[in-house]
Amino acid sequence: MTHQVTIWMAGDLATAHRVCRDHCYTEGVCFTITPSKFIYTAGEEDGFAIGLVNYPRFPCEPDVLWLRAETLAAKLLPACNQRTCLLVGTNETRWLVVEPPGVA
C-alpha cells in the first residue's frame, strides 16, 4: 500500500525550499514542493504544499513517514514565521499548533 503525507503551510516558498534542502542533508528523504494560495474568510496568504511519499529509494513505514513530516514541519514553522500547519495523510489529518511565547 502506498502511503503519503502532505504538509500544508502558509509562508515564503524560498524559505521552504531552503529548509527542505538543509533537511535532506541530515536524512535520506525526498520531498515535493508546490506553491499554493490559501483563501479563507477575510483574507488570503501564499504558501506551499510539501509532499512526502514512501519513496522506494528511502522506504519507510507509515509511522516513520508521519514522524518525518512532523520533524520537517517543526523546522518549517519558525523558519516561515507560522504558528500552524496541516499534515494530511491518506486516512488522517493532524493540525500542528505552536503556541506564542507566554501562552500557558
- Percentage of residues of the chain with pLDDT beyond 70: 96
Is the residue at 102 inside a domain?
A: no
How many separate domains does the chain show?
Answer: 1
pLDDT of residue 10: 97
Helix-helix angle 62-79:13-24, to 10 degrees? 130
pLDDT of residue 103: 66
pLDDT of residue 88: 97
**CATH code for position 10:** 3.30.70.120
Question: Which residue range is the domain that position 79 belongs to?
Answer: 4-97
CA distance 21 to 100: 27
